[in-house]
Structure 1
């Protein structure tokens, strides 16, 4: 007994050659599918994705992923910047008071720190933050002064060449204050002592640099003036000797403070 609902599929495989001008084309065989009263013809054509379309889709997907990652990174960066800015702001009343005090201290001249030797660490520690800031500012002045001296024009074997040479010696001597500072930077010394001694070093450095700027600002006034140049040289030599004397004194006092000796 035959079930009328069964679909009878008949496939007639064959290949038929077709002549087209000088080329012979092979006609793809067709398959017949019979079921009930309808006939469906299926060819052997394979449905494959176009490689170009696949490539474009893949590139588009990669670009979308990259954009998403960049947006995420940007958002994270903004959050970090906001957090960093928020963290840098004073939070408590004590921090607000310290920030205000530091702004006031920053306006004071270096000479105002010379008598802080016996100030307790609890107070001097805050003042020392401004001394550390002034070291950074002074370090910037070294490069600025070197550039200033290097841009002065002069003739070979002239008085101006001699003047620039000794000004360079003064700058070298002034920068030795940083060597003394670094030598004792990590020694356990009371903050009050450290403030007084480092203030001496900063004053020596900045006074020497100020003198260099003053001389360069009036450099043309002594052009060809041998007597004036000799007086200027004597002044610079004195400044160099004064630097040496201060360095010796500060070095000895740092050691005494470290050894808990009086000075």
Structure 2
């Protein structure tokens, strides 16, 4: 019971303090580009501040944002995300589910990209940072994955309203990101994978649902039924994404188990 209370109070306290910080800080710009930048920066700075505070509360005995082998993590993140997104997009094009119908002109693309990156870092540190590492230490990877995947789902409230496939896509994406984190022991990997999905899939291709004010370079048309097109969630509501997500879960689970077995053998030797 003591361990449960310790985990609950710290996790709940971390999240509530972060939410209060975000809610109390006003966004200082009426310019839509700068407004979005600050709207992503403030939650990120808040989660970094809370992570530092709780890092010292834990007596520096918890790796909140592990960053093992950064170069390998970046390369694996870029490769995995490129494969993930390209398989989904090419499958939808091959089945005549989506097609390009136009192009938009975007000003300050670099700032939109930075804002998107800040949002992804915030999400990954919030979900797979302190709370995940605390529950993993006190219980297990299984427990921490369940709790943080639930948190990740509620951070994407639109999916809950959209139906079962969007919900399953968010859940499987979170599990996929967690396995990538565990395999590389680096939060850099899920950050890179998540960012490429959001930036290329959302801001470039216009197929991933971001905040409403985010622009997209291309405009897509959706054909056939919502099971394939994803409906209001765009490709993130497609069953194709669900199938690909499950495939990557199986792949990373296999890689993780193989890595654990290899390290166990080396330890015995």
Asked if Structure 1 and Structure 2 have the same fold, meaning a TM-score greater than 0.5 normalized by the shorter chain, the answer is no
Q: TM (normalized to structure 1)? A: 0.30
Bigger radius of gyration, 1 or 2? 1
**The structure with more strand, counted as a fraction of residues:** 1
Q: TM (normalized to structure 2)? A: 0.30
Q: Greater RCO between the two (CA within 8 Å, min separation 6)?
A: 2
**The structure with more helix, counted as a fraction of residues:** 2
